[in-house]
């Protein structure tokens, strides 16, 4: 499939797809006319890349991780290394810290909302789900 179709099917801009190629995250063949031609599996690959970016991983870390993950279902492949496990554990800890920071920020925001609404901040917090 051409780059425009891949962009349409994944919701990712053509510019981003070209960037993914420069970062060795995505591969395309070339038509005789020089146009990019992607395999059907590129759709799953791009979705996986987007998930990793959303988790806050950098391009180099994603490039290291992608060979260890199956595109179709995101499950692990058999080639994960102990070093990669260690690196990814560090990334997971970073994400956990960010989640904790976001929860604290939400609590402050909830208190401000409760105060502005004339409620007790503790009443407002107990009425909301914990996540």
For residues 110 and 122, the model is more confident at 110
Q: Are 92 and 74 a contacting pair, CB within 8 Å? A: no
**Confidence tier at 95 by pLDDT (50, 70, 90):** confident
- 62 plus 92 within the same structural domain: no
95 and 123, same domain (yes or no): yes
User: CA-CA distance, 106 to 101, in Å (whole number)?
Assistant: 9
pLDDT at 129 exceeding the cut of 70: no
pLDDT of res. 74: 64
Return the pLDDT at 99.
Answer: 92
Decide which of 56, 78, 100 is a domain's last residue.
78
92/125 same-domain check: yes
Query: How many domains are there within the chain?
Result: 2
Predicted pLDDT of residue 131 = 55
Among 34, 57, 78, residue at a domain's last position = 78
Is the same domain home to 26 and 46? yes
Higher-confidence position of 26 and 78? 26
- Its domain, for residue 13, covers 1-78
- Same domain, yes or no: 12 and 71: yes
Span 53-79, average pLDDT: 81
pLDDT of 25 strictly over 60: yes
Domain CATH number, residue 21: 1.10.1660.10
- Quickly count helices (H) and strands (E) in the chain: 6, 2
Average pLDDT over residues 64-90: 77
Residues 29 and 42 in one domain: yes
The rounded distance, in Å, linking the Cα atoms of 10 and 46 is 7
């Amino acid at each position: 499939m051409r780059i425009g179709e891949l962009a349409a099917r994944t919701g990712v801009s053509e510019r981003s797809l070209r960037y993914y190629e420069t970062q060795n995250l995505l591969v395309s063949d070339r038509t005789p006319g020089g146009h990019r031609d992607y395999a059907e599996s590129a759709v799953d690959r791009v979705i996986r890349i987007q998930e990793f970016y959303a988790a806050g991983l950098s391009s180099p870390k994603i490039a290291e991780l992608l060979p260890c993950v199956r595109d179709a279902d995101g499950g692990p492949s058999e080639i994960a290394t102990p070093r990669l496990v260690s690196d990814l554990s560090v990334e997971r800890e970073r994400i956990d810290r960010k989640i904790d920071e976001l929860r604290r920020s939400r609590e402050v925001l909830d208190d401000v909302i409760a105060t502005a609404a004339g409620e007790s901040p503790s009443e407002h917090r107990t009425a909301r789900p914990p996540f």
